[in-house]
Structure 1
Amino acid sequence: MSMLTPSGMGGKYRVTGNAYPRMRPPRRRGKFIAVLIAAVVVLGLFGWGALQLYHVFRGDDGSTKASSAPQDRPSCAPAPTPAHTGKPVPLPQPAQVTIGVYNATTRGGLAKSTADQLASRGFKVAKFGNAPDPYDGKVTAAALVVAGPAGEAAAREAGTMVSGSQVKIDPHRKGSTVDVMIGNAFGKLATPAEAAQNRITAQNPPPAKPVCTTPGTDKGTGTSDKGTAKAAKKS
């Protein structure tokens, strides 16, 4: 029996040639490749997680939402206001002001009674009734006077009739008609002496505050004739 004959073969088989036989199983390269791929995937996940943490600490989400988010934020622009010339801003006479009176409170009858009093003071009352949804129950001041840029002077004149009222200029609103939204703090109209004092303040308005609008929101007050069934509830 040759020295190259493996033990246990009893000399039945002989190994010939000049190469030794392979006595161990072949290496499994497929398993090695699978482990390598898994390692690469794990490293990639760790890298992705680290990138997300980086964006979180920066204050953004690292996606296209960061670039589109500003489109959903309110955009603010200075409210239109007469230029400050050092002289009082002239206000129109009540007969030159067309208004709508709307009740934004839960108290009944305020729109009609207030509209009647304003009409007796010379204002042209075109409509009255319940406040539209954007203002109903949301006016905390005595009144909120809403107008477009063309109706700013008229809005300030109407605001003199309610002490503690606020004026809002909607840059998207057309025309010079004014809407008076009666708020929760409303008690009664100003006396003639109080209205005269309020007019002095209204003729010297403070610097305009920014008017903020959000994309998709209502660009107008959405008021309509409230002398209907809805107005009968509380106006």
Structure 2
Amino acid sequence: MRLARVRALIIIGTLALVATATAAWAIMNDSQADLAGCEPGEVPVNLAMPKPQDVEVRVFNSTKEPGLAGQVKADLQEYGYKVVETDDKEVEGLTTSARIVYGPKSLGAGHVLSAYFLDAERQFVPDRDDTTIDVIIGDGFRQVNTESEKVQSLGEIGRPTAPPGTCEIGKGTEVTPQTSAS
């Protein structure tokens, strides 16, 4: 009878351990917890600033200069971005260097990407459901900023903030290259 009790206690203990581990995993991976601070009707936005290799970009040329989208694609790929499409796209009155268009899932990434362009317009589209960011090259374009110019630009524009009618769900930071003093 003693051996049967020991086996029963071992089985019950194992089941309790598995149940506790499963509950802990479910709580830590619950996506609803991210929306806890959102009011009804607010659009959740991701303010995380991911690494370039985690960002998909489409580049469109709205200027009359041929091949500009390909040039920008090459520059962004050099910095690690995944450029998934290039094309021409007419946009009337785009006099700045670029317009960066993004949705709620990529607000932080769009913010960082805008720092590669001198006077980029940022356009948040609340009902956009994908994570891809559109870069539309405008008539004011001269070149894609270098990494150090991007870092300086981010210092000037600051961290991304949630637009009115939205609530933030991600606050990660981008990993930037470290420079060592010589």
On whether the aligned pair clears a TM of 0.5, the verdict is yes
Q: Which residue does 1:195 correspond to in 2? A: 150
Identity %: 25
TM-score, scaled to structure 2: 0.60
The amino acid of 2:147's aligned partner reads P
Distance in 1, matches of 2:159 and 2:116, equals 16
The amino acid of 1:151's aligned partner reads S
Give the secondary-structure state (helix, strand or coil) at the position aligned to 1:151: helix
Unpaired stretches in structure 1, ≥5 consecutive residues: 1-78, 84-88, 211-235
What is the CA-CA distance between 1:137 and the residue it aligns to? 3.5
Aligned residues: 124
TM-score, scaled to structure 1: 0.48
- Which protein has the bigger strand share? 2
The amino acid of 1:140's aligned partner reads T
The amino acid of 1:170's aligned partner reads V
Query: Aligned in 2, Cα 1:108/1:81: closer, same or farther, shift over 3 Å?
Result: farther
Unpaired stretches in structure 2, ≥5 consecutive residues: 1-41, 166-182
Give the secondary-structure state (helix, strand or coil) at the position aligned to 1:193: helix
Query: Aligned in 2, Cα 1:183/1:209: closer, same or farther, shift over 3 Å?
Result: farther
Q: 1:105 and 2:63 equivalent?
A: yes
Q: Which residue does 1:155 correspond to in 2? A: 110
Matches within 5 A, 1:1-235: 90-131=48-89, 133=90, 136-205=91-160, 208=163
- Which protein has the bigger helix share? 2
Higher relative contact order (CA 8 A, sep 6+): 2
The amino acid of 1:190's aligned partner reads N
What is the CA-CA distance between 1:201 and the residue it aligns to? 3.7
RMSD value over aligned CA atoms? 2.5
The amino acid of 1:115's aligned partner reads K
Q: Give the structure with higher Rg (CA).
A: 1
Contact 2:107 2:160 in 1 (8 A): no
Contact 2:98 2:117 in 1 (8 A): yes
